[in-house]
Structure 1
Amino acid sequence: MTFQYENLVITVPLTPSKLDQVKSSFHNVSYHPDGDVPEEEWATADIWYTGWLGLPKGITKLEQVPRTKTVQLSSAGANELLRSEIMSTSEAKNQIKVCSASGIHTLSIPQYIVCNIVNLYMKLQIQLQLARTNAEWPSRESVIKAAGAGGESHPGNRCLYGKTVGLLGYGHIARETARLLKAFNCKIIAANSKGDKRPEEGYRIPGTGDADGSIPERYYSTSDPSSFNEFLLKCDIVVASLPSTPQTTYMVTEDHLRSLPDGAVFVNVGRGDLVRSEHILSALDAPGGLWGVVLDVTDPEPLPSGHPLFTHPSAIVTPHTSGSFENYFDGGADVLLFQVERAQKGLGPINVVDPAKGY
């Protein structure tokens, strides 16, 4: 199939300079950052650049968008559009390629991961809480006491130097995290479904990531229980960046968490249903269990008000915000422009989401 794009409809806000850049790549650009697109423009659109919900709600039938070949989302997830009425037929799935913005979050999530591992290691969540709550200089003793079991087992600041970081899932986010953590002299290992080294696929921001998959010293298989257990046993820090699929739902069990080495940290920036919150709590409170957790995603999500993870001294919980960065939609527009480059070379779109799998 040959992809040629003449008419673009944008339903997200762009900076003036990025909008000018996008306009230079198309014959016609309809810009509706409020998402309110006149119906007469639906029929002429070849490609859309939209938010995570996808096409406007009024579009429910394929005949309303007869020219649409591609919907470029600004999100890594595509489930909302794939579950919509417009995408419910085989004809629509054959005509319209739904593309994620996977790859742009290397600008934000890896630095969130590194930042909050360091926060835990320095007990900054405790120091800041005491200083802001009491409006006074917290003593070292008060910080150690407020840190509870984590303060007792490791009263001083901890160092990343020499730690083994296990990346559970090795996509764009994990590869950039691996690159950054190598600067701390960490040992990097990775686990994916097959336990194999793979090249980085999809959209990649120049200068980021691990193109050939050479950073990890070893790969393990999540499909092989013995290989997965061996992976976990070696991890001082586990960073999970997996999507939510039938294979990954509650894949990490309470036993897995308790099998991690003493002083281990668990970070989850993928999807909350990888592991049950009650199992995380149990592992945090178990003697010799998890030393700390960083959770940008939870089970359930949002985490209910009053949940004990919010105030646990060894937990940092954030409201699924690690993927946000300044001028976010400009980042997704770069993927859009890359789609145009591919079309000009006679290539199909990149980051196409399989309707059968979603994300």
Structure 2
Amino acid sequence: MKGAEKGMLVLSAIKNMKEDIRARLEADYPEIDFIFSYGIEEAKEHLPEAEVFITYGEDLNDELIKQAKNLKWIMVISAGLDQMPFRQIEEQGILVTNARGIHAVPMAEYAFSMLLQVYRQAKKLFEFEKEHSWQRKLPMEEISGKTMAIVGTGAIGQEVARIAKAFHMETLGVSKTGNDKPYFDKTYENAALTNVISNADFVVSVLPSTSETRELFQDEHFKAMPTHAVFLNMGRGDLVKSETILNAVRAGEIAHVVLDVFEEEPLPRDHPFWDEENVTITPHLSGSSSQYQYRAFEIFFDNLEKYLQGEKDYINKIDPKRGY
């Protein structure tokens, strides 16, 4: 296909899409019809006519896909795909791309802000500040020169490893293939996970949710970590059961846990995590940034050009059989 066909409809269900992004789409592609809906409830009436659908990936189901008779491409402007109805998408032969990689900068910054707050006693310092209490005897630690194991060596993991090098850390990567990746001193396959984390001061997971990663971390992994280790999960909450984490913290098997993702979200108000001194909770915002939409739509603009020109080398093309 060369150029947009007359009447081609691109439908967006992105709430609060930035006005300058909308303006650029309409200015650069006057031959395309755009509908900018505020969420799926507004968008679904237009789905049967849409050729391209832009979504966060959490609002589609089999029934909606079946209704989308004209749909050829779904652009998911997030990295998470665990709620996508891939079987129906594959049956209808719909292209899926996502925004994998755009979270690297904010998530890496989040990781180090959390590790520093643990080692520099930020929680207690904030308490003392509220109490107007001048306390100088808090034990302070340095994250420099430590060993970090990063589980997941894609774009986010590589950015975490790159920054770790500024702190003179040894960086160990764990992934399905164990292939060498930039900024990692050594990389290992998943089978070596227990051995790798047994030598780590910090264990950071950035894994997505797949059949291979669900409950990957078990009791034995926390027992294998040094008792001074900090575990940080900012990938997906189904990596490890809450009970497993609580048992490890309460038994003193690890020193601290930082969690941005959970088995159940929002985390219930009565969940025991909230009251654990050695657990830091954040509400799934490690990837949040004022630059989020701009980075995501740069991928969309690039792929839209490929789509209109009939090219096939899409950025972040998803295999529906694998779900990533």
Match of 2:299 in 1: 335
Aligned twin of 1:246:
211
- Counterparts of 1:3 and 1:312, CA distance in 2: 59
- Structure 1 residues 58 and 306, CA, compared in 2 at 3 Å: closer, same or farther? closer
SS at match of 2:210: coil
CA contact (8 A) 1:51 1:74 kept: yes
Amino acid at match of 1:88: Q
Structure 2 residue aligned with 1:78, among 81, 84, 89? 81
Residue 235 (structure 2) aligns with: 270
**Alpha-carbon contact 1:37-1:56 (below 8 Å) kept:** no
Q: Normalised by the size of structure 2, how large is the TM-score?
A: 0.87
Q: Percent identity?
A: 28
Q: Which structure 2 residues correspond to residues 116-135 of structure 1 after superposition, within 5 A?
A: 116-132=114-130, 135=131
Aligned equivalent of 2:247: 282
Task: Check whether the contact 2:227–2:254 (CA below 8 A) recurs between aligned residues.
Answer: yes
AA matched with 2:184: P
Cα drift, residue 186 of structure 1? 1.3
Question: What is the CA-CA distance between 1:308 and the residue it aligns to?
Answer: 2.7
Structure 1 residue 176 and structure 2 residue 159: aligned? Answer: yes
1:237 CA drift (Å): 0.4
Q: State whether structure 2 residue 85 is matched by structure 1 residue 88.
A: no
Q: How many residues align?
A: 316
| Cross-structure match for 1:214 | 182
Q: Partner residue of 1:151?
A: none
Structure 2 counterpart of 1:295, from 235, 242, 259: 259
Partner of 2:13: 11
Preserved CA contact (<8 Å) 1:292 1:314: yes
1:3·1:69 contact (CA, 8 Å) conserved in 2? no
Aligned-partner SS, 2:163: helix
How far did 1:319 drift? 1.6
Higher RCO by CA contacts (8 Å cutoff, separation 6 or greater) = 1
Deviations 1:322-359 (A, max 9, x none): 12222533332112112124334723432222222326
Give the 3 Å change call, closer, same or farther, for CA 138–285 of structure 1 in structure 2: farther
- For the 8 Å contact 1:15–1:327, the answer to whether it is kept is no
- Using the alignment, how far apart are the partners of 2:25 and 2:314 within structure 1? 17
After superposition, residues 339-350 of structure 1 pair within 5 angstroms as 339-343=303-307, 344=309, 346-350=311-315
In the alignment, the residues of structure 1 paired with residue 65 and residue 203 of structure 2 have an alpha-carbon distance, to the nearest angstrom, of: 42
Contact 2:65 2:89 in 1 (8 A): no
- The structural deviation recorded for 1:167 is 0.5
Residues 137, 31 of structure 1: CA spacing in aligned structure 2 closer, same or farther, 3 A cutoff? farther
Q: Distance in 1 between matches of 2:44 and 2:72?
A: 19
Distance 2:230 2:291 in 1: 31
Taking a change above 3 Å as real, the CA distance of residues 65 and 129 of structure 1, as seen in their structure-2 partners, is farther
1:322 alignment partner in structure 2: 286
Q: Which runs of 5+ in 2 are unaligned?
A: none
2:66 corresponds, among 61, 64, 69, to: 61
Which of residues 225, 233, 241 is equivalent to 2:198?
233
Please say which of residues 338-347 and 104-113 is displaced more in the overlay: 338-347
Unaligned 5+ segments in structure 1 are: 145-154, 198-212
Task: Tell me, yes or no, if the aligned pair for 1:194 and 1:221 is still in contact at 8 Å.
Answer: yes
Q: CA RMSD in A?
A: 2.6
Query: CA distance change for structure 1 residues 71 and 315 in 2, over 3 Å: closer, same or farther?
Result: same
Alpha carbons of structure 1 residues 5 and 51: separation in structure 2 relative to 1, 3 Å: farther
Secondary structure, counterpart of 1:108 in structure 2 = helix
Residue 21 of structure 1, CA deviation: 2.3
1:51 match: 56
Does structure 1 retain, via aligned residues, the 8 Å contact 2:200–2:226?
yes
Counterparts of 1:38 and 1:90 in 2: how far apart (Å)?
20
Question: How far apart, CA to CA, are the structure 1 residues paired with 2:36 and 2:146?
Answer: 48
